[in-house]
Amino acid sequence: GESVGLHLPTLSVQEGDNSIINCAYSNSASDYFIWYKQESGKGPQFIIDIRSNMDKRQGQRVTVLLNKTVKHLSLQIAATQPGDSAVYFCAENNAGNMLTFGGGTRLMVKP
């Protein structure tokens, strides 16, 4: 598969543990944020989104937290599974109809 970002920060977790992936965004005027998952050799896949009028949003096994005060976004994955191993990107709409992606974090799940 394709190698995305040879020097990405890496988070290594044990299968079954919870994972927390963090992201600092740049524009305090951004009002929409998305988390994407990218597996090797594939395009990014939508995980969850949140608008700036919310602090927290939950999906299936995932939770996104938004702290506008410190411009911080986090993705929590409960009971991490081997299939969660991928690169995770946060994105913000910091200029109208444009998404700006973060550099990504590689999640590795140890069996």
Partner 1 sequence: DSGVTQTPKHLITATGQRVTLRCSPRSGDLSVYWYQQSLDQGLQFLIQYYNGEERAKGNILERFSAQQFPDLHSELNLSSLELGDSALYFCASSPTVRLDEQFFGPGTRLTVL
Site residues, partner 1 (CB under 8 A): 2-6, 32, 34, 36, 42-46, 49, 89, 91, 93, 96-104
Q: Which of 78, 107, 104, 80 is nearest to 90 (CA)?
A: 104
Least gap, CB of 97 to partner 1 (angstroms): 4
Q: Which residue number, 25 or 36, has a Cβ lying nearer to partner 1?
A: 36
Least gap, CB of 71 to partner 1 (angstroms): 18
Q: Which amino acid is at 101?
A: F
Q: Which residue number, 5 or 16, has a Cβ lying nearer to partner 1?
A: 5
Q: Which residue number, 47 or 109, has a Cβ lying nearer to partner 1?
A: 47
Q: Can you give the C-alpha Rg of the chain in angstroms?
A: 14
Least gap, CB of 99 to partner 1 (angstroms): 6
Which phi and psi (to 5°) does residue 44 adopt?
Answer: -60, 145
Q: Which of 111, 3, 11, 26 is nearest to 72 (CA)?
A: 26
